[in-house]
Amino acid sequence: MSSGRQFPGGAVSCGVFMEDARIHTGADGRTADARRGCTGLDNPDEPLKCVFSTVSEIKVGTGTTAKKQRSKLLWYVQQCGFDQFGVRKINPQFVPVGDERIIDQEALLTSYTPEVEIHNTRVEPAMIALKKTIVKGDKHREKGEPLSAEMEYAKALDVDETNVRAIFGLGLVYLGRSDKKNSRTVFEQLLGLHAAFSEEHKHLFNEFGIQLRKSGLFDEAVQYYSRAVELTEADENLYYNLARAFYEKNDWEHSVEFAARSLSIKPDHDHSLNLCKVAVALAGNDDLRARYGKPPVPDAVARKAGRCAGIEPGADEMTIEISPAGVDGRLSSSSLMMELEQEK
């Protein structure tokens, strides 16, 4: 399927590419392209290819000995249009076989369960190995040599970034349908891929983390940001994104810790400074914390935040104007927090 194929019909947006991802600049100085944003299953440049499963019950035996047995079938699904998905059965060797039938998106989302791990660890390697076997067989025939029955499977798969985005988009679609079970399945299995990810792919996990945080999946966002950090050397923007996610989780200790790491790389990182100032501002104000639903800030954490923000110990109440809307819908400040809505 050509990556440039245009899907017919109108597009259904199941997720908005965040402004913060558009301005994210990594340690290598590259700025992410807004067009790379993952919006779901409506991008003709990111057609979905993934394994799905269905479960059916079959009756075994007769009479009083009859019993029902659950049978799980695997299917290889490849998107071939905006609302068209080709489905083929997968054989015991994990290779798609048989004729392809076409289903629409609604049928896919309601009747099939995503199997991302099986796709990446079993089916994709089997398909690659099959192609290699055919090529190897042709060479043997050309040389008049007997065919070898054994193939060495690649130990690490090349990352198909386009399909990784498409599969994440599938998770966004499930999320938009309030299908938390399948959305979490997709997000967790993508995170566990044992593929050949490298530093150049850090933007994937950062971008996905931003969208997960905006969707209220803070634990998953932390996991994706952490994976991005693993793929690169110290990056002040990734550390800030982690700090922001922990802020949303009401985890002051880790929020200030990662803001501090961000500032250790870039002392004038505005958003990390703002986050530390907010921690200090709320530390001694029970009424304000209660108003905006934030937990107490531990004394040691408040002192650390103050040091990071350059606030002298024992300073008078900070001049911060708090308004009712803003960060996570609970806290904002015209002087500090407006930009906190923008990721770096």
The residue type found at 110 is: T
pLDDT category of residue 196 using cuts at 50, 70 and 90:
low
The mean pLDDT value for 41-70 works out to 75
Q: Report yes or no: 31 and 200 within 8 Å, Cβ to Cβ.
A: no
Here the tokens at position 119 are: 């796709």
Query: Taking every pair of C-alpha atoms in the chain, what is the biggest distance, in angstroms?
Result: 88
Range of lowest pLDDT (136-140, 198-202, 304-308) = 136-140
CB burial of residue 303 (10 Å; 0-12, 13-18, 19+): middle
Distance CA 19, CA 17 (A): 7
**Given this model, what pLDDT does residue 44 score?**
77
Distance CA 138, CA 154 (A): 20
Beta pairing partners, 323: 332
pLDDT(13) > 80: no
Q: State pLDDT tens for residues 161-187.
A: 767 787 888 888 888 888 888 888 888
Query: What single-letter DSSP state applies at residue 217?
Result: -
**Given this model, what pLDDT does residue 299 score?**
94
DSSP string, 7-38: PPS----SSPPPHHHHT-B-TT--B--GGG--
**Given this model, what pLDDT does residue 263 score?**
95
**Given this model, what pLDDT does residue 25 score?**
37
pLDDT(113) > 50: yes
Query: How far from 275 is each of 20, 141, 339, CA to CA, in Å?
Result: 16, 67, 10
Rounded to 5°, angle at Cα 304 from 298 and 306:
100
**Given this model, what pLDDT does residue 190 score?**
84
Q: What is the 3-state secondary structure (H, E, C) of 284-334?
A: CCHHHHHHHCCCCCCHHHHHHHHHHHCCCCCCCCCCCCEEEEEECCCEEEC
Q: State pLDDT tens for residues 33-47.
A: 433 455 577 777 788
pLDDT(151) > 90: no
pLDDT category of residue 252 using cuts at 50, 70 and 90:
very high
pLDDT category of residue 104 using cuts at 50, 70 and 90:
very high
Q: Report yes or no: 188 and 219 within 8 Å, Cβ to Cβ.
A: no
User: Mean pLDDT across the chain, nearest whole number?
Assistant: 73
Distance CA 255, CA 260 (A): 9
Coil, strand or helix at 44: coil
Q: Report yes or no: 42 and 7 within 8 Å, Cβ to Cβ.
A: yes
| Cα distance from N-terminal residue to C-terminal residue, the chain | 35
pLDDT(101) > 70: yes
Q: How large a percentage of the chain has pLDDT more than 70?
A: 64
Rounded to 5°, angle at Cα 256 from 269 and 296:
135
Greatest mean pLDDT among 119-128, 223-232, 237-246, 317-326 lies in: 237-246
Q: Which residue has the higher pLDDT, 301 or 204?
A: 301
pLDDT(323) > 50: no
pTM, whole model, 2 decimals? 0.60
For residue 243, give the nearest of 264, 233, 28 by alpha carbon: 264
pLDDT category of residue 221 using cuts at 50, 70 and 90:
very high
Q: State pLDDT tens for residues 257-286.
A: 999 999 999 999 999 998 998 898 888 788
Contacts 24+ apart (CB under 8 A), 90-99: 90/51, 90/123, 93/126, 94/118, 94/122, 94/123, 94/125, 94/126, 95/123, 95/126, 95/127, 95/130, 96/123, 96/127
Q: Which residue has the higher pLDDT, 42 or 32?
A: 42
Here the tokens at position 309 are: 């923000």
Here the tokens at position 2 are: 């050509």
